Amino acid sequence: MTRGLGWETTYQPMDKVFPYDRYEGIKIHDWDKWEDPFRLTMDAYWKYQGEKEKKLYAVIEAFAQNNGQLGVSDARYLNALKLFIQGVTPLEYYAHRGFTHPGRHFSGEGARVAAQMQAIDELRHFQTETHALSHYNKYFNGMHNSNQWFDRVWYLSVPKSFFEDALTAGPFEFLTSISFAFEYVLTNLLFVPFMSGAAHNGDLSTVTFGFSAQSDEARHMTLGLECIKFMLEQDPANVPIVQGWIDKWFWRGYRVLTLVAMMQDYMLPKRVMSWKEAWEMYGEASGGALFKDLARYGIREPKGWQQAIKEKDHISHQAWNVFYNYCGAAAMHTWVPTDEELDWLSQKYPDSFDRLYRPRLLHYREQQQQGKRFHNATLPMLCTICQVPMTSTEPDDPTKICFRESDYLGDKYHFCSDGCKDVFDGEPKKYIQSWLPVHQIYQGNCFKADVDPTAEGFNPLAAVLDWYGIEQGKDNGEFEGSVDQKNFADWSGREAPAGEPAPLPATRT
């Protein structure tokens, strides 16, 4: 459908008009072999999207008029939405920016048009997610400053650095990283937990956003698969380049999904499925079939695939512990799950939970009951690539933190895994520029301009939170006793069952 929308330029040579589509080494001999993934005229596209918008905004309006925010399972669920608006929604905007670049710079008009249409879809997602969640922002904390938090706050550098790595790559790598690895291979591991989580927890606003995005996502998946097949079919020399990108971007995308794993195992009062189950279904089964299919091109499964399988019993619990340790500096709450929830976790993770993770959660509960709720007061070591605190363990020993390092031009760099180390070693010039939140705090770059760290009584955490724009005592900290908890209980007339410590026994033995 897009054939004939482009032309061979005569006013300037083609490679001056399109300077970006050869430097990555990908060889395209015949752009006419590109099959349009979106078989829509612009006017059909506007029509379908317009119809979806009418429905979406009608539902959001009804949700608001009906005080839908009081219909969620309990106030802890809101923290899943905080994670979403802070860490996922900004990525939609980055995707919008990201697709506009290949939307200009592929010399094939079919690929340009597809990228342009996706760029519009992604801006739409940024807008519709913001609207769907804005209603909650009127009533609850942890959502009011998400765009600034995305640029500054420590845990949000995980999604931010991921996407900036893609944005600063060339157009073919960008499509491999986002269209293929993220929007095809990994998409269900992001979308299903949040959208099913919303459905199971009474969140009509997010559910309706999910429905309105589904047909967009179906198109995006088609683009992802088309771009990968197109590159692989155009020239055998493309295969090793694409394989390298698949290895890098599966790993980077998977590490970002650590946050989703934690969300679905810990933040949904009405749980849908465990991370382990989701990974087995959407990762191992679907992904396994996909890579079998791609084998005919000479593509194998991504390098980190087996490690992701080994880690499926662990990453969600390890990630929750990061946020439990550091929620004093986060724009969301954490808590110890109820006994019923601990039992669900035992049942879903029979090989790991009771042995490695339940004891510390019970210890946390005990400490909280004694008024000594644990907070980690020392900044964590971060992985230079994925920027997650170094909580990952050795693939074959989940009791031991995994350390990897590289030396480059006289300096040491540290990583959580072989996968992240490989990314660094492949392109060190890029990653020595990583803006690591912990290091930036120590460099003094995370205070407002008028702050004097040498002044009497200087409180570095308070100063950093101020620079972050996180409101101490409202956005951060323990859920139990939070403003959100109290307000939800007062307004809905329902007590949040969660986080309430079990009473101490009447007598101690």
Name the β-bridge partners of 411: 408
Tokens of 250: 């599966």
Shortest distance (Å) from residue 9 CB to another protein: 19
Shortest distance (Å) from residue 90 CB to another protein: 21
Amino acid in the structure at residue 335:
W
Shortest distance (Å) from residue 53 CB to another protein: 39
3-state secondary structure of 407: strand
Which residues lie near another protein (CB under 8 A)?
19-20, 23-25, 170, 241, 244, 248, 318, 321-322, 324-326, 355-360, 363, 372, 374, 376-382, 389-391, 393, 399-401, 403, 405, 409, 411-414, 426-427, 429-430, 432-436, 438-440, 442-444
What dihedral angle (degrees, nearest 10) is formed by the CA atoms of 207, 209, 210, 211?
A: 90
* Spatial separation of the C-alpha atoms in residues 186 and 37, rounded to whole Å: 19
Q: Considering beta carbons, is residue 274 or 325 the nearer one to another protein?
A: 325
Q: Considering beta carbons, is residue 140 or 479 the nearer one to another protein?
A: 479
Shortest distance (Å) from residue 504 CB to another protein: 18
Q: Considering beta carbons, is residue 73 or 434 the nearer one to another protein?
A: 434
Other beta carbons within 10 angstroms of residue 168's beta carbon come to: 12
Shortest distance (Å) from residue 134 CB to another protein: 32
* Spatial separation of the C-alpha atoms in residues 431 and 435, rounded to whole Å: 9
DSSP letters spanning 74-132:
-GGGHHHHHHHHHHTHHHHHHHHHHHHHHHHH-SSHHHHHHHHHHHHHHHHHHHHHHHH
Q: Considering beta carbons, is residue 197 or 389 the nearer one to another protein?
A: 389
Shortest distance (Å) from residue 172 CB to another protein: 10
Q: Considering beta carbons, is residue 322 or 332 the nearer one to another protein?
A: 322
CA neighbor of 320 nearest in space, from 279, 388, 378, 261: 261
* Spatial separation of the C-alpha atoms in residues 84 and 78, rounded to whole Å: 10
Q: Considering beta carbons, is residue 227 or 327 the nearer one to another protein?
A: 327
* Spatial separation of the C-alpha atoms in residues 50 and 62, rounded to whole Å: 18
* Spatial separation of the C-alpha atoms in residues 269 and 55, rounded to whole Å: 28
Q: Considering beta carbons, is residue 13 or 497 the nearer one to another protein?
A: 13
Shortest distance (Å) from residue 48 CB to another protein: 38
Look at the block and give the residue holding tokens 């009405």: 270
